[in-house]
Amino acid sequence: MVVILALLGIVGGVVFWVVRAHGTVKALEEVNRDTKGLQRRARSSLQDIFGTPLKRVRDVRLAAVILMIQIVRTGSPVTAAEKTKILEFMESPLDVESISAMFERAWRLTEARRPFSLVADELLPLLRDSLTEAERQQFIQMLSAVAGAHSPVSELQREAIVRLKRRFGGGSPALKASRAGDFER
């Protein structure tokens, strides 16, 4: 009889702690759900103050490398042909001194399958302020060459490049004419 009472006491204690732990978890989930908006606002405020890693990029060459990597990482893993093309552009015309270090830094700032436009939008002010009209055109050509290094440029890549070209803006008649041609395709 004593053994049965002891077992019932142990089982009762276990049930009590399981029910109590379950109630605590539910309460924490409710607090988390109720404060989601505050958490987002706090994260947004911190990003406004300190900026995202991409917004802290100040080197236009690094920004160009980031976008060249992201244009190919958006759809699939980077192939050897695409990486070779990026490295060639880093050597000339970008004239990067420490190619491997910059490539690694740019790689860390990209993300597989992340939409190209999200990355480009954060770097666009730097590119717009730093590049001349001719350099912008050259950069668009570089992106197209990287995107087509392994296989034909995908529809997703082409649309991303067209969007970037549009977002670059500029009043050049040649740029506007090239934009008009892009929409007719």
User: Distance between CA atoms of 10 and 154, rounded to whole angstroms?
Assistant: 65
Which DSSP letter does residue 24 get? H
What is the pTM (predicted TM-score) of this model? Answer: 0.66
- Is the pLDDT assigned to residue 143 strictly greater than 80? yes
pLDDT at 159: 95
CB distance 85 to 149 below 8 Å = yes
| 60-184: CATH topology | TerB-like (1.10.3680)
Burial 81-95 (b: 16+ CB within 10 A, else e): ebbebbebbbeeebe
Place of tokens 């009590």: 16
Q: Note the pLDDT tens digit of each residue in 52-103.
A: 788 889 999 999 999 999 999 987 889 999 999 999 999 999 999 999 999 9
The half-sphere exposure of 100 on its side-chain side, counting CA atoms within 13 A, is: 0
Portion of the chain with pLDDT greater than 70, in percent: 83
pLDDT in tens, 8-40: 899 999 988 888 888 888 877 877 777 766 666
Query: How many Å apart are CA 41 and CA 35, to the nearest integer?
Result: 10
pLDDT at residue 32, rounded to an integer? 72
Q: For residue 103, which of 135, 71, 66 has the smallest C-alpha distance?
A: 66
Contacts of 182 (CB under 8 A, 6+ apart): 162, 165
Sort 123 into a burial class: Cβ within 10 Å, 0-12 / 13-18 / 19+: buried
